[in-house]
Amino acid sequence: MNRAAVETAARRFREEHASFIRRTPLWKVPGAMLGVQAAQVWLKLEHLQVGGSFKARGMLNRLLSNTIPETGVIVASGGNAGIATAAAARQLGVRCEVFVPTVSSPAKQAKLRELGAQVVVTGAVYAEALEACLARQRETGALLTHAYDQPEVVTGAGTLALEIEEQGGGVPDSVLVSVGGGGLIAGVAAWFEDRSRVIALEPELAPTLYRARAAGEPVDVQVSGIAADSLGARRIGALAWDLTGKWVREALLLPEEAIRETQLWLWREMKLAVEPAAALPLAALRAGLYKPAADERVALVICGANLDPASLA
């Protein structure tokens, strides 16, 4: 995974699958509009991506990079990776089976079925759903798509960062990214390297990267809380661990109340309906956990919008 691989994936999306992978908007607004002290905030509105999250980029890149057997593709997911895999499979006309934990939202499960995927709900957390998925894959021989820990998946996610640079007219001073298993931040870090200050953000109740950094290696953690269905990986991915170790400056933890308050604020004040995971970057600014310089250009990745609309009431 490197910048050249990201450029290749982006070119393939643009030339062969422009009707599927969307070049999502980059919304530049004064920091004051969002109630934060920064010269300019760049909102990468990836919640408008096909399938409702950034995951479509990595999943399509994974499928395009491999020969798909007649048994199709299989994935374990808290929801978004499954939705993206199902959408990519439908785009390519292949079968898809998705294993989701019981914590995944009913809205995401319904979307999976709408996309034609066979859905298996099993296990209390993502890791348990993954175990069941791996056992099934050994039986069927289907192409396994991991939610975040495969090179093609990380490379696909990196195309989002390439777009930020292109649309922004240059490299932002900092980029704030939500972390679950780490596929998104790994892709962002692979693209920007040391050219931007990449900041990892996690809920206090799902601190996979934060705990790994404290231990000096990936470790299993208990995950729960408002963003667990999206950021519910029990351990940071191996690829993310390597890339964040090279390029990510800080890993910050956010309290539940800050995430929820920002999610509701985004809907109430900006009319952006996003899932809790997508609210972390702005929450870090609004709560003062990350304090940009007055002249700083801060990019926030708004990563997904697969939520129950009633949760915004």
Phi, psi of 44 (to 5 degrees): -85, 105
Say which amino acid occupies 141.
G
3-54+150-312 adopts what CATH topology?
Answer: Rossmann fold (3.40.50)
Look at residue 226 in the predicted model and tell me its pLDDT.
76
**pTM, entire model:** 0.93
CA distance 68 to 152: 14
Burial-class residue 169 by CB neighbours within 10 Å (0-12, 13-18, 19+): exposed
For the chain, domain boundaries:
3-54+150-312, 70-141
- Predicted confidence (pLDDT) per residue in 47-106, tens digit: 999 989 999 999 999 999 999 999 999 999 867 889 999 999 999 999 999 999 898 888
Give the residues across from 298 on adjacent strands: 41, 174
Contacts of 215 (CB under 8 A, 6+ apart): none
In the prediction, which pLDDT does 234 show? 83
The answer to whether 3-54+150-312 and 70-141 have equal CATH topology is yes
CATH for 70-141, options being 3.30.365.10, 2.40.110.10, 3.40.50.1820, 3.40.50.1100: 3.40.50.1100
Mean pLDDT by 10 residues, the chain (313 residues): 94 96 96 85 97 95 97 89 94 96 84 94 88 97 95 98 98 97 97 98 95 96 76 86 96 96 95 95 95 93 89 84
∠ Cα 170 56 105 (to 5°): 120
- Tell me what pLDDT residue 232 has: 65
Q: Given this model, what pLDDT does residue 231 score?
A: 62
- Mean residue pLDDT across the chain: 93
What are phi and psi for residue 210, nearest 5 degrees? -60, -45
Nearest residue to 122 via CA among 130, 114, 134: 130
Instruction: Print burial letters for 289-298: b (CB count within 10 Å at least 16), e (below 16).
Output: bbebeeebbb
pLDDT of res. 111: 87
